[in-house]
Amino acid sequence: MTHISSPVLLAQGETSRSLLDYIARGGPVGMVIIIISIGAIAMIVAQWLRVRREVLAPPGLAADLRKILAGGDVSAAIERCNAEERPSFLSRVMGQSLTRASRSPFGMLEIRTTVEEAGRLEVDRLYRLTDGIGLVASVAPMLGLLGTVIGMVGAFDAIMLTEGPARPDQLAGSISQALITTVLGLIVAIPCTAAYTYLRNRVDHLTTEIGETIDEMIAPLESSGAEGGAA
């Protein structure tokens, strides 16, 4: 026969519990929610530090590439991108696109196509952590609902296994677990949803701005490529 444990009663005179007490009352499901919330915090901080203009497009690199490409020296621009100790969005997009265009039989006529393809790959790379945050935002409330169902099943088991009317203290533990897991799931999901939306919009905004900068950089190459093709 399944034994249903009754909740630990508050000490005499105690009128409230600490936050850790409530988290402990959430049971295994509550602990899983806490663990994924820690992972979500780590991803949010990492993505916040990563999605900044000075990180995605270092000002020094942008200035050097603009000067080099204005002179039409593609090889020097590729070397400058590869020389970055910490590859950035700008260095990867420009390095890959210039390398592919220089090896293509169409030369710089293909530069815009290679930039767009490399840019899409890098944007997808930036979205990975953000998508992880979105996953936590989706999973957390479902885990809370799972904890709620488990708690209610425990409450009904207590009623079924009790001879005669069930006492409130026999039901309170399971009902408490049901409510606490729901609360924990929502506490995790709401800020994760907000962070996901903000960071995704930030990625879109910054990559669009950097894309405009790249368009300015490759304009001289497109002009020279078009002239060479006409000749």
> How confident is the model at residue 159, as a pLDDT?
62
Q: What is the pLDDT of residues 34-82, one digit of tens each?
A: 999 999 999 999 999 999 999 999 999 999 999 998 888 889 999 999 9
Q: What is the pLDDT of residues 144-181, one digit of tens each?
A: 888 888 877 776 666 666 665 655 555 555 677 778 88
> How confident is the model at residue 106, as a pLDDT?
73
Cβ within 8 Å of residue 230, ≥6 positions away: none
Q: Which of 169, 177, 186, 184 lies closest to 153 in space, CA to CA? A: 177
Looking at residue 85, what DSSP letter applies?
S
> How confident is the model at residue 136, as a pLDDT?
95
Q: Which of 121, 97, 96, 122 lies closest to 109 in space, CA to CA? A: 97
Q: Are 118 and 102 in contact (CB under 8 A)?
A: no
Question: 103 or 11, which is more confident?
Answer: 103
Residue 3 lies in a domain: no
Residue 10 lies in a domain: no
Residue 7 lies in a domain: no
Q: Are 123 and 203 in contact (CB under 8 A)?
A: yes
Domain that holds residue 195: 20-157+168-230
> How confident is the model at residue 7, as a pLDDT?
41
> How confident is the model at residue 85, as a pLDDT?
87
Distance between CA atoms of residues 72 and 111, nearest Å: 13
Q: What is the pLDDT of residues 89-103, one digit of tens each?
A: 999 999 999 998 888
Q: Which of 202, 197, 220, 186 lies closest to 37 in space, CA to CA? A: 186
Distance between CA atoms of residues 11 and 112, nearest Å: 71
> How confident is the model at residue 80, as a pLDDT?
92
Statement: residue 201 has pLDDT above 80: yes
Distance between CA atoms of residues 151 and 175, nearest Å: 6
> How confident is the model at residue 50, as a pLDDT?
93
- Predicted TM-score of the model (pTM): 0.77
Question: 136 or 4, which is more confident?
Answer: 136
Segment 195-216 shows an average pLDDT of 94
> How confident is the model at residue 64, as a pLDDT?
92
Q: What is the pLDDT of residues 102-143, one digit of tens each?
A: 887 776 778 888 899 999 999 999 999 999 999 999 999 999
Residue with tokens 């998508």: 131
- Number of domains comprising the chain: 1
Cβ within 8 Å of residue 194, ≥6 positions away: none
> How confident is the model at residue 126, as a pLDDT?
92
> How confident is the model at residue 160, as a pLDDT?
62
Residue 35 lies in a domain: yes
